[in-house]
Amino acid sequence: MIRSLTVVVGLVLGLAAAPGSALQWPDRDVAKHARAWFEAFNAGESAMRAVYQEHYSPEALAQRPIEARLGGYRDMKSQQGSLTPVSIPEVDEGEIQVAARNASGEMITLVFECEPASPHRIRGIRIMMGEGGPGGSGGGAGGAMMPAGPPLDDPAAVEAMQAILTQAAAADSFSGAVLLARDGKLLLRQAWNRAERRFAVANQPETRFNLGSLNKLFTKLAIAQLAQAGKLTLDDPLTRWIPDWPGASASKITIAMLASHRAGIGDIFGPAFDAADRSKLRHNRDFIALFRDQPLWFEPGTSERYSNGSYVLLGEIIARASGEDYYDYLRKHVWEPAGMNATGYFASDDPTPDLAMGYTRGDDRKGPLRENVFSRPARGSAAGGGYSTVDDLLRFDQTLNGDKLCAAEWTAWVIGGPPPAQPRAAAAASAAGRREAPSVGFAGGAAGISADYSREGPLTLIVLGNFDPPFTQAVAGRLRAVMRRMKG
């Protein structure tokens, strides 16, 4: 709700775009933040990352990190296409409503709720379908969209999803496997298109797909287990475990900063990776040389930027704190307890059965499908690259959310809640709220690799694909829109 209608009356007049003209934005902080948001939404993911960093309040980012918000952005982008601001129905110092037209010509209204005091950065966004009317609490491109259409029972939802997937597979814009479950019980488990195109091998529900960065969940869970066991703490400096890490700020980097991408550590991808003999990247520690000598992106703890290098270091810390090889630790303490017998880090030259080949159309997403063998390392790292199946990920979902892999407060932290170092009552309240209505989303992707795992209340949706992320995520976004219409 707008808190000062007397302010609004004189401003709304003239704040609709005339035909063929651009919207006139008022000279207010909230309008500057909203305008930057719309420009970034249409520009792409890197621009949205910058908006989250520059235009969102620190409290908002602490509650929902940038990577989780980017997952919501991909979801919303796949549903809406582009968004063109048309009018500003209401505005005051702490809130602004913007009516916008999507790529299909439909109208939606976004309500930007901002800080009450200057600089009035964004705290959250509510979405309303049409140019006004009741809307639900969400996070805009970092939260849930209002479901479009009437509620669906389970059979109708499954039928709608199958139609979406069959059409996308026929157009060669989706290849993979999909699982939908309610309270762990299967509603949909099916595969489309091919796992190996050279020999026309079909995808199956049992096919193992590269998860990309979805593997970071396993790495973060391992950190949680070791912290719960007292073998490390989130406040441990990096230098406790890797004493020779270079740089004057190394001692300021903590495990918590590495896990939340706030350490300033560089990435494994870049010129060093491009020039590397990727056939020799066979163990997590082999990736360290790719970023060890890079300068920090920022002083530890002062900003946030997605870093695969940070998770490679977490993998090394796991090995040193546990006394076990990183891959062995995951197998013994994560995958086997969850019953994930098909999951693992398989080398590209190992004859592993039921493994999907990745196919990419190149950077412009318009070329012919080509195998992604030359863009991948020989084996994945703690930042990503392991393989799994839709069945194994459902087992992980049920075991993790049943707090069987670590205590409830640590489970809450793994999926994006507050760190257990906060007062135990707050952490317990967060965990209890998560069990009542858990809503989480994680994704991973690279050339020819795409994985998407989301949970809405009792519903779990897993979408694994062997095409480029934009194709798979576009389909996953449509499936999530159907899931949000499901009853109960």
Q: Give, rounded to a whole angstrom, the gap between the first and last alpha carbons of the chain.
A: 28
Tell me how far CA of residue 42 lies from CA of 48, 88, 274, in angstroms: 9, 18, 29
Who contacts 31 (Cβ-Cβ below 8 Å, separation ≥6)?
Answer: 25, 88, 91, 96
- What is the separation of C-alpha 470 from the centre of its chain, rounded to a whole number of angstroms? 13
> Any idea what the Cα angle at residue 419 is, between residues 414 and 420, rounded to 5°?
105
Q: How many residues does the chain have?
A: 488
Q: What is the pLDDT of residue 204?
A: 98
Q: Which of 339, 365, 341 has the alpha carbon at shortest distance from 354? A: 341
pLDDT tens readout for residues 189-207 = 999 999 999 999 999 999 9
Report d(CA 76, CA 191) in Å as an integer.
24
Fold of 5-142: Nuclear Transport Factor 2; Chain: A, (3.10.450)
Q: Token pair for residue 66?
A: 């940038």
At 117-129, the pLDDT tens digits run 889 999 888 776 5
Same CATH topology for 5-142 and 210-483: the answer is no
User: How many Å apart are CA 374 and CA 230, to the nearest integer?
Assistant: 41
In contact, 112 and 135? CB cutoff 8 Å: no
CA nearest 218: which of 321, 309, 345, 324?
345
Cβ count near 428 (within 10 Å): 15
Q: What is the mean pLDDT of the chain?
A: 85
Give, in order, the Cα–Cα distances in Å from 319 to each of 184, 221, 316, 335: 32, 14, 5, 16
Query: What type of residue sits at position 1?
Result: M
Question: Which amino acid is residue 334, in one-letter code?
Answer: V
Q: Is 460 helix (H, G, I), strand (E, B) or coil?
A: strand
Q: Is the pTM of this model over 0.85?
A: no
**Contact (CB, 8 A) for 423 and 437:** no
Structure confidence at residue 251 (pLDDT): 94
pLDDT for 149 equals 67
**Residue 126: which of 109, 138, 118 has the closest Cα?**
138
Angle between helices 154-170 and 469-483 (to 10 degrees): 160
pLDDT at 17: 45
User: Distance between CA 35 and CA 155 in Å, rounded?
Assistant: 41
Residue 5 to residue 9: CA distance in whole angstroms: 6
Which contiguous run of DSSP H or E holds residue 388?
Answer: strand 387-388
* pLDDT tens digit sequence for 389-407: 999 999 999 999 999 999 9
**Topology annotation, domain 210-483:** Beta-lactamase (3.40.710)
Give every residue of the chain whose pLDDT is below 50, as ranges: 1-21, 130-147, 422-435, 437
Domain boundaries, the chain: 5-142, 210-483
